[in-house]
Structure 1
Amino acid sequence: MKNRKMLAAAIGAGMAPLLAVTLPAGTANAHGYVSSPPSRQAQCAAGIVPCGPIKYEPQSVEGPKGLMSCSGGNAAFAELDNDGKGWRVTPVSRTTSFNWRLTARHATSTWQYYAGGRKIAEFDDGGARPGSTVTHQVNFGSLTGKQKVLAVWNIADTPNAFYACVDVSIR
């Protein structure tokens, strides 16, 4: 009886690393992305545009503050930087609501929006920890037509930010 228990324990210990490598990984539960208008990672998650691993973790596009890339400098999500991938363009008004879906509550310094090669909006949260959603009214000013909007969530207590690109057509 004792030998059987030891054998079972040895088999279990030997199988654990194999199971950890072969079982599918769960989705990372962290951070956030623009859900509406649908960001590139939201389109990936919904299966609208075929993408790599970002499909399973649209909230994970994190990188150092100050980047101007849709992927946040993360090579695993480089597809988000490809402007020719067939992203759906959402028609929007001159003033549009951008809705973030957050899966982790980080202390926030600022939210920034860039289009047409310049910053078009910034919202200062002064270190607040937002809930599960955040909405900003962004005014595009004189911009019209097709634009790629880079939305950035700057975290107050880390050197990182979260990035999302949204393809819009301003009416």
Structure 2
Amino acid sequence: MPARRKAATVAAAVGATALALSAAPASAHGSMGDPVSRVSQCYAEGPESPESAACEAAVAAGGTQALYDWNGIRIGDAAGRHQQLIPDGRLCSAGSEEFKGLDLARADWPATRVRGGSYTFKYRVTAPHKGTFHVYLTKPGYDPAKPLAWSDLDLEHPVATATDPVPAGGFYTFSGTLPERSGRQLLYAVWQRSDSPEAFYSCSDVDFGGGTAGGTESSGGSTGTTPAPTASAPSERQISAGAGKSTVEHHGHGDDDPSTSAEPAAAEVNRPKAAGAAANLAETGASAGTSYLAVGGAAALAAGSAALFLSVRRRAAAGGRRR
């Protein structure tokens, strides 16, 4: 086969592979299942017709896709820089525009009833990875009718910490201790991977009973004295039924899967611009629907095009010398 035709064939094959890779869904990895997270709760209610006023408002603010993508609240290059990357008022969405409805300051988010003492946390995982969980509780006096800020969390005393728990039955299960509180509070979970700079975030509303937090008018029109619905996690059937509308992957896989590994931003230094631009989008977490597979696809496409270009140049140069 002539060199030019062979190069063209190889480039076409590489390009097709790149397009297939870029069309693949992004991997997402989970959310707190008990106490159920806001996004999981709203997904369980039904993205198209949520039952609670808070979830209805979340859909009005951010659309239904955020709920179908319930396991994808993440930052690709977090590397422990959570407070640097996520501004106050955007903690529940991790600063993502897609999930902005979860940041609504309301006192009527469906809540899980809890009490002080030992608590078994269950994190619903769809792609297990090595890493460490930290779960933080809001401080006494927390007002759910105000935007959640980092200063609202007791960051010095996490209520649970777990490194490399073993997943079983679709959950990471680990123990913690809840302090004495009253009324509505919020648990903020951070799962920082150790095999990648990627991190995942979730907000879980809880009610300790014995009083209410806040009590002022919220942005959603409800008050702190209005009883909130009881939270409930989505069933396996609901998760399976909505997977087809998700832009993220719902199939579990191991840590050795390269399609779910985010590279450090420093790797961009000597990377070709075409591949670097695609990789940067995935690594910065700019879009929760960005696939790491697309990075490989873009790189492969750039490599194939370069190979074809060089082959044509060499062919032309050789022909010139023969003349």
Measured against the shorter chain, the TM-score band is 0.7 to 0.9
Q: How does 1:46-125 map to 2 (within 5 A)?
A: 46-47=44-45, 48=51, 49-50=55-56, 51=59, 52=63, 53-63=65-75, 64=78, 65=80, 66-67=82-83, 69-84=91-106, 86-95=108-117, 96-108=119-131, 110-115=132-137, 116=139, 117-119=153-155, 120-125=158-163
Q: Determine the C-alpha separation between the residues in 2 that align with 1:26 and 1:149.
A: 33
Q: Determine the C-alpha separation between the residues in 2 that align with 1:79 and 1:130.
A: 32
Q: Determine the C-alpha separation between the residues in 2 that align with 1:26 and 1:35.
A: 26
TM-score norm. by structure 2 comes to 0.41
Which one-letter code corresponds to 1:118 in the other structure? D
Tell me which residue corresponds to 1:7.
Answer: none
Identity %: 30
Q: Is the 8 A contact 1:28 1:57 kept in 2?
A: no
After superposition, the Cα gap between the structure-2 partners of 1:46 and 1:151, relative to the gap in structure 1 and judged at 3 Å, is same
After superposition, the Cα gap between the structure-2 partners of 1:38 and 1:27, relative to the gap in structure 1 and judged at 3 Å, is farther
Give, in angstroms, the shift of residue 123 of structure 1: 2.1
Q: Deviations over 1:47-68 (max 9, x none)?
A: 2423222210111000224246
TM-score norm. by structure 1 comes to 0.73
Ranked by relative contact order (alpha carbons within 8 Å, sequence separation 6 or more), the top structure is 2
Q: Determine the C-alpha separation between the residues in 1 that align with 2:162 and 2:120.
A: 16
Q: How does 1:90-169 map to 2 (within 5 A)?
A: 90-95=112-117, 96-108=119-131, 110-115=132-137, 116=139, 117-119=153-155, 120-125=158-163, 128=164, 130-131=166-167, 132-169=170-207
Q: Determine the C-alpha separation between the residues in 2 that align with 1:111 and 1:166.
A: 14
SS in 2 for 1:76: coil
Q: How many residues are paired up? A: 144
Answering whether residue 31 of structure 2 is matched by residue 33 of structure 1, we say yes
Q: Which moved more, 1:135-144 or 1:87-96?
A: 135-144
What runs of 5+ residues in structure 2 fail to find an aligned partner? 1-22, 46-50, 140-152, 210-323
Structure having the higher Rg:
2
Q: Determine the C-alpha separation between the residues in 1 that align with 2:41 and 2:110.
A: 8
Which one-letter code corresponds to 2:74 in the other structure? E
Q: Determine the C-alpha separation between the residues in 2 that align with 1:29 and 1:44.
A: 21
Higher helix share: 2
Give, in angstroms, the shift of residue 35 of structure 1: 1.5
Q: Is the 8 A contact 1:33 1:39 kept in 2?
A: yes
